[in-house]
Amino acid sequence: MSRIADDATTAWIRRYHPSADSAVRLVCFPHAGGSASFFRPVSVRFAAEADVVALQYPGRQDRRHELCVEDIGVLADRLSEELGALSDKPTVFFGHSMGAVLAFETALRLEERGAGAPRAIVASGRRAPSCHRAERVHQEDDEGVIAELRLLNGTDAAVFGDDELMRMALPAIRGDYRAIETYTCPPGRRVRCGITVLTGDADPRTTLEEAAAWKEHTEGAFRMQVFPGGHFFLIDHQGAVNAELGKELDAARATVS
């Protein structure tokens, strides 16, 4: 695959505030049903100091006519190819919910390649990869999927009142849920880079114990920060979450000779 320029946007890679001369990179992995634009506020915050890349999976927004990838391994394979075509910069991966698992799986693949691997992963709003729950939201009818979205409280209320928007969004949401709910990971699977976990203390889909179990998936440093709130705690605590991202980017920048 040919190299992707440091200021380029592609089907997979979105740069809302290109910063080609930045010494470090932040790659953002959206949640199930989410899109690259969810991370626009992060891009605004770090535009002056990092190459902020937000990933756009198939099946949503301007890629809504493409088939959703319903397998975490296949999607991580594709993402590792795309990210492997970027220039070599100290990089931090930031993933929320399903995106945290994708960040982990993509990092594993890049570490195996020996190029493009992150210096750290910030895993937000997701239990450790080996903590499996028998969840079947992807098998529910449309009302069941919508009930799950309401429970997690991360979808704009206006979307629920717009039938056309909801019909457009549901295929990608269901496909992503199928991908994450059928995903499994053995307990001993580890990345070499460090992992920082961010979690809400009232998340209905991740207990504090399940979040802490990420420690078993890294050979590097581990730390965990607990925030008040549910699954989308990061929306209410954007400043504090950005501060955690800033710490990781500073550490990555310090490795530049």
User: What's 61's domain CATH number?
Assistant: 3.40.50.1820
Q: How many domains does the chain have?
A: 1
In a domain, 111, yes or no: yes
In a domain, 1, yes or no: no
Mean pLDDT of 143-169: 60
In a domain, 67, yes or no: yes
Residue 223's φ and ψ, nearest 5 degrees, are -150, 160
Question: Tens digits of per-residue pLDDT, 122-140?
Answer: 999 999 999 987 777 656 6
Mean pLDDT of 53-58: 97
User: Which burial class, exposed, middle or buried, applies to 6 when counting CB atoms under 10 A from its CB (0-12, 13-18, 19+)?
Assistant: middle
Mean pLDDT of 70-80: 97
- What is the band of 166 on the pLDDT scale with cuts at 50, 70, 90? low
In a domain, 37, yes or no: yes
> Shortest CA distance to 97 belongs to which of 66, 65, 135?
135
Question: Tens digits of per-residue pLDDT, 183-226?
Answer: 999 888 999 999 999 999 999 889 999 999 999 999 999 999 99
pLDDT of the residue at 210: 96
pLDDT of the residue at 172: 85
CB atoms within 10 A of CB 43: 23
Of 35, 97, 124, 130, the catalytic one is 97
198 beta partners: 124, 225
Tally of CA atoms within 13 A in the half-sphere of 162 that contains its CB: 10
pTM more than 0.75: yes
- What is the band of 158 on the pLDDT scale with cuts at 50, 70, 90? very low
Tally of CA atoms within 13 A in the half-sphere of 254 that contains its CB: 7
In a domain, 4, yes or no: no
- What is the band of 29 on the pLDDT scale with cuts at 50, 70, 90? very high
Res. 15: pLDDT tops 80: yes
In a domain, 122, yes or no: yes
Q: For residues 113 and 191, is the Cβ–Cβ distance under 8 A?
A: no
Question: Tens digits of per-residue pLDDT, 236-245?
Answer: 999 999 999 9
pLDDT averaged over every residue in the chain: 89
Helix 142-152 / helix 163-181 crossing angle, nearest 10 deg: 80
Domain span at residue 78 reads 13-253
DSSP 3-state assignment of 59?
Answer: coil
Res. 150: pLDDT tops 80: no
In a domain, 5, yes or no: no
DSSP per-residue codes, 119-180: SEEEEES---TT------GGGS-HHHHHHHHHHHT-S-HHHHT-HHHHHHHHHHHHHHHHHH
Q: Which two tokens stand for residue 243?
A: 């501060």
Question: Tens digits of per-residue pLDDT, 107-123?
Answer: 999 999 988 899 999 99
130 is catalytic: no
